Structure 1
């Protein structure tokens, strides 16, 4: 596929790079940075003309993603609202819902989190047990969600809940919008401390929490939820790959500086393979964005590629360090601090599980793309 950046794209790149140089500082909170992005018109580049800030072609969206990552800008607090909920509202929401929620996301003023996974419903999302009961014009939500990124910062959560009593699997589900600031302990957010020492994820308990909107109508939650997941691995995957590229470069430098590659041809081969596979992932992402025609297997292929790749990168980082990888300043005290590569290794153990496990992705490819018989349940 011919995927070249033309003169207009290069002009857009200069604008993006110049804006980032002028506005990116270290003395601003992440929420203030979201608002700065919104004021600059950099949120919603991929939305349609009626809803976003400045407009950008697909190649210009890629340019912005590349420049943002290479500038070392902060991880986005508004990613879930901008790249997941907003396109879903544009595709499935009412005009009133779009008018209510999209401007706040575009201004960087309203942050969102995703209420999908549950303790007994992770990759098998259709087995979820969170329920919502009709209450006047809204719903009351009761249940538990887990692995909820940004729940402690979010103003809103989109929640997949069962609204039809006695329904099973993907039937009777509704896609609900829930404000996180509610009185009386209706929502309880609890950070999950991981073995890496960080707490990016949370578990969220809903106890009769009010949901004010149902997107796509009652009972159509599965269709809306699957439509959202199809949007999850778009242009933003290129930002992720640029981050991977920087991680790989640091590990290669560590291998060279330590002399680990001098007498170890197997290690050299693995480093070269990591580089080649990363290039392959980039071209596959560009091919998918450039018009693979809604291939139902494309998101699953992408997840399989990057999940295993990143996990192997963490293993390489530890191999290069040798025995020293298992220790560090205060590493095994109750308040131990891990270094960057130790956190990479520990966190990447989950890469082949979260966001849909490898087993689930292979089932999707087998059943929806290859037409093989469904797995017996």
Structure 2
């Protein structure tokens, strides 16, 4: 793993830093730091305008090849961009699911027509996406999905329910996994469909979370329709496509995510210094372990990214998910211990939370969404270490 930045790389870093400084000091100055976990409701329309501003200036989809509307930047420069974006406290992106998940999936598995139809709108942030994976009876066990789709002439007709669907209340489209082969079980007979959200037959119900916000949603498909051509990969063979999407979810953007984690850890340390908790040897030890864990997480992520030349993340990406999810949940717990008894009291009625309470509550979900810790350990054991498969019914 060679993490040496060339003079040209450092010049690119200055370009990114200067552009962000200029862009975030004008009309978008008030967006710094907005929209993070548990704060998805903050200035959504303004952040959407910011994402479109990024697209208009060539700062979306920078790792995509130029033929797909990107810059074709190499790994190190993508890392630099995500690092500088996080350091600038630029607002949380609203186009993550399209840019980081669906777009790379279409590039890897989609048809030419699908790429021509959807990629330009993702680059320009004209259309927003949500992910239709989890269901009430199929959370981390995606192979148990019961949402069904059948061909009716030149359209798929979809019936079923999805849950924990991030940003579905804002999305124009959903990439959904549905069972299209009657009588099929588990991984067989699933298809990866692209479904328009703004139609009769699609109902979105926001779910209020512990943080008091509603990033997540229930989505009901009741005779919803999409064109027969909008299946990614072969019909009935959507499992491979769905797993490819999950691999992209654990890609380069997580490097910038870790900059944000470091900022949160610094805030916890500052609180410990203010209220005297830093004098507790146990707290000192936990802070030191958190700092070391953050460094290990970053180096592992970089090693995984630089060691993968195929362009499609493999099962090793599950290690990164397991590391950061567990670490971040632990940071939320540490924040509560540092805050002490005041962490149990809302800051104002009816339910105003401070940054540490919000961190603790939201990070409880980190080890569940995107594949639970238990599922990640199974993947690592079976597909990375080659251990015997877990018994399944």
- TM-score relative to the length of structure 1: 0.95
State the 1:292 CA deviation: 4.3
Pair 97,301 (structure 1): closer, same or farther in 2 beyond 3 Å:
same
Provide Cα deviations, 1:327-357, integer angstroms capped at 9, x if missing partner.
1333xx5x31111101111111222122111
1: CA distance, partners of 2:176 / 2:346: 41
Indicate the SS of the match to 2:53: helix
1:210 maps to what in 2? Answer: 225
Q: Distance in 2 between matches of 1:224 and 1:329?
A: 45
Deviation at 1:175, TM superposition (A): 0.6
In structure 2, the partner of 1:230 is: 247
Structure 1 residue 20 displacement after superposition: 1.2
User: Which of 246, 258, 264 matches 1:247?
Assistant: 264
Equivalent in 343, 353, 360 of residue 325 of structure 1: 343
Aligned residues: 371
Q: Deviations over 1:5-32 (max 9, x none)?
A: 1111111111111221222213771211
Whether 1:272 and 2:320 are equivalent positions in the alignment is no
Q: 2:173 aligns with which of 121, 137, 156?
A: 156
Q: Are positions 1:199 and 2:217 aligned together?
A: no
Which whole-Å CA distance do the structure 2 matches of 1:58 and 1:340 have between them? Answer: 32
Within 5 Å, which residues of 2 pair with 1:301-316? 301-316=319-334
Equivalent-residue separation in structure 1 for 2:267 and 2:308 (angstroms) = 33
Task: Report 1:286-305 matches (<5 A).
Answer: 286-292=302-308, 296-305=314-323
Distance (whole Å) between structure 2 residues aligned to residue 135 and residue 324 of structure 1: 58
Distance in 2 (CA, whole Å) between partners of 1:76 and 1:293 is: 27
Distance (Å, rounded) in 1 between the aligned partners of 2:178 and 2:141: 14
Structure 2 contact 63–71 (Cα < 8 Å) conserved: no
Provide closer, same or farther for how the CA distance between residues 280 and 76 of structure 1 changes in structure 2, counting only shifts above 3 A: same
Q: 1:49 aligns with which of 66, 79, 86?
A: 66
Contact 2:347–2:354 (8 Å) recurs in 1: no
Residues in 2 aligned to 1:189 and 1:370: alpha-carbon distance in whole angstroms: 40
Q: Could you list the runs of 5+ residues in structure 1 that have no partner in the other structure?
A: none
2:57 to 33, 36, 40: 40
Shift of 1:115: 0.4
Name the CA distance, whole Å, in 2 between partners of 1:93 and 1:10. 35
Residues in 2 aligned to 1:192 and 1:96: alpha-carbon distance in whole angstroms: 35
Matched residue SS, 1:178: strand
- On the 8 A contact 1:150/1:201 being kept in 2, the answer is yes
Partners of 1:101 and 1:162 lie apart in 2 by 23
Aligned to 1:89: 106
- Other structure's SS at 1:29 match: helix
Tell me which of 136, 143, 166 is aligned to 2:160.
143
Runs (5+) with no aligned partner, structure 2:
32-44
Contact 1:34 1:109 in 2 (8 A): no
| Equivalent position of 1:372 in the other structure | 387
Q: Is the 8 A contact 1:190 1:202 kept in 2?
A: yes
- 2: CA distance, partners of 1:228 / 1:360: 16
| 1:95-149 Cα shifts (integer Å, max 9, x gaps) | 1110000000011111111000101111110000000110222201111111111
Decide whether the 8 Å contact of 1:296 with 1:368 is kept in 2: no
Contact 2:65 2:71 in 1 (8 A): no
Q: Structure 2 length as normaliser, TM-score?
A: 0.91
Structure 1 residue 63 displacement after superposition: 0.7
CA contact (8 A) 1:196 1:343 kept: yes
> Does the CA-based 8 Å contact 2:251-2:305 persist in structure 1?
yes
The equivalent residue for 2:360 is 345
**Distance (whole Å) between structure 2 residues aligned to residue 111 and residue 101 of structure 1:** 10
User: Equivalents in 2 of 1:50, 1:174: separation in Å?
Assistant: 27
Q: Distance in 1 between matches of 2:261 and 2:347?
A: 26
Distance, in Å, in 2 between the alignment partners of 1:321 and 1:202 is 31
